[in-house]
Amino acid sequence: MARVVTIIGTRPEIIKMAPVVKALDALDHEHVLVHSGQHYDLLMDRVFFQDMELREPDRQFELREQPPHLQVATTIRQVADVASDADLVIVHGDTNTTLAGALLASKLGRSLAHVEAGIRSFDRSMPEEINRILADQLSDLKFAPTVTARENLERENVRDGIHVVGNSVIDALTQNIATAEKRSTVLEALGLTRGKYILLTFHRSENVDREASLAQAVEAFARVTKATGLEIVFPVHPRTAKQLKAFGLASRAAGIRGLRQIEPTGYLDLLVLEKNAALVMTDSGGLQEESCFFQVPCVTLRESTERPETLEIGHNVLAGTDPDRIEAAVRKQLVATRGWPNPYGDGTTGTRIAELVDGFLG
């Protein structure tokens, strides 16, 4: 029996790794689940474990209110004893937790697997891009979600241990959408009509930590709701709320008619909001993938994306934070022809990863 240590730390990792964790738990190996605490808030974190019906972590740490370099250093220090005798360390995605787990495995001489390997924005000003590149370089097993991701790795001369397995976000959707539609009352609670509102999420540091970008985005939201006549439903991330206040933009945002700011939602409510929206506006990678699956057009409020497949099939448009570009992109996507293919797999990614892990461990 081998020892597998899986390290997660953020809400997107909880969502995407839940199907993988469940599949790994079913193997005849010891499986230790570690939560770094990179995101740790009862409403915005623990509820995701509950919604995903994911077991509690075996080890729970806390990184709240630490800058990125200390998040990496602290995670390495805290998780070292757990991973010291692991036969395989597994990380996901591109977070500070991902980088810490990858560096730790390397320094301990432990084998490493990277879930969601090979995705690239080709924008190295993004901290996430550096994290994912380093994790891929250090990994023995690289679980790429798409052929494009595999090709990205090959262009970087990373060729061994690559497996195209799809994206576990599809597993999570297919496993939870029926439950979400049965349990969630979010549409009724907010008085929303299906297909008659826009869902907005906006929280990335490059957007909200810069006053000019955040101010532009707020003006864009005002223009979009006025131009379309559609209400924008905006679950406000704590980071975004903090920065709106810090830059003196909270009153402006609150005064926009048609921009409804709500508390962060759980995963099941968010799925229902996504599936029934006329359009998704987001700077989140996960929502680009999820709205693609739901056949809901997307406008990404960034200058680049690690999900180029969504652009190629017409599901998604990049608009940055410029009000003119955002308004134009929204108008275009609201009349986009749906029916694009799903590029992210058939919902069996977790099982495929577990099988490959089992074969690797012998």
Residues serving a catalytic function are 203
In angstroms, rounded to a whole number, what is the distance separating the alpha carbons of residues 221 and 146? 33
Strand 162-164 relative to strand 231-235: parallel, antiparallel, unpaired? unpaired
Q: Which of 205, 239, 200 is nearest to 218 (CA)?
A: 200
* The pair of three-digit structure tokens given for residue 227, joined into one six-digit string: 């131009």
Q: Find tokens 């469940």 and name the residue.
A: 22
Give the phi and the psi of residue 147 in degrees, each rounded to 5.
-65, -35
* The pair of three-digit structure tokens given for residue 237, joined into one six-digit string: 């991330």
Fill in the amino acid letter for 83.
A
In angstroms, rounded to a whole number, what is the distance separating the alpha carbons of residues 37 and 265? 19
Strands (E), 195-240: 197-201, 231-235
Q: Are 173 and 141 in contact (CB under 8 A)?
A: no
Q: Which of 309, 311, 297, 276 is nearest to 339 (CA)?
A: 297
Alpha helices in 145-266 (DSSP H): 147-155, 168-183, 186-190, 205-208, 211-228, 238-246, 250-254
